[in-house]
Amino acid sequence: MTERTQAKADIIPFTMDYARTVRSWIDSEETYKSLCRGKDFPPPEDVIESWQRDSVASYILMWRRRPVAYGELFNRPLEMAVEITHLLVDPVHRSEGYGTKMLELLYNRAASRPNVAKVVLNLYGDDEATLGCYLKAGFVIEATSSYTVGFRMSRVVS
């Protein structure tokens, strides 16, 4: 991890005040596709708003009072799991460890919930940097998909 990500950084609950900023981080067709299998780039103005649901807890990673990453926790009670979805890092700060930091903080939040045996996430596409981030955060490949390029990954709650 870089010196920056070892500094005090924490997640706060997402509010709609950050929606425009988070949307601006979807900076390419590839990012949009790997983020949520989005097809029509650029994404609609309300894409971030469309992700907000009662069953989803959304968070912003703050560093030096600025948002640098976004992610969500989605309950999967039938699997005794929580899924991390829509993980996105500000393009200016990609490859600086913020994705890994965000994953660690989201994992800790998910793992502290009752009746959670594992935390899962999906990698859509074949981006080596994203895969490396997920592996560095302790996730392992659980399965591949027969309908899209990518992996289902998990980390057991200990």
pLDDT in tens, the chain (158 residues): 455 545 578 899 999 999 999 999 999 999 999 898 888 999 999 999 999 999 999 999 999 999 999 999 999 999 999 999 999 999 999 999 999 999 999 999 999 999 999 999 998 888 888 899 999 999 999 988 666 678 899 999 98
Two structure tokens written together for 34 = 């790997």
Q: What is the pLDDT of residue 6?
A: 57
Amino acid letter, 106: L
- Residue 148 CA to residue 158 CA, distance in Å, equals 30
For 112, phi and psi rounded to 5 degrees? -80, -5
- Residue 6 CA to residue 21 CA, distance in Å, equals 24
Q: What is the pLDDT of residue 7?
A: 55
Threshold 0.85, pTM exceeds? yes
Answer CATH for 3-156 from 3.90.650.10, 1.10.510.10, 3.40.630.30, 3.40.250.10? 3.40.630.30
Two structure tokens written together for 116 = 């959670």
Q: What is the pLDDT of residue 110?
A: 97
- 89 Cβ contact list (under 8 Å, min separation 6): 25, 68, 69, 70, 98, 99, 102
Q: What is the residue extent of each domain of the chain? A: 3-156
CA atoms 125, 78, 83, 72: torsion sign: positive
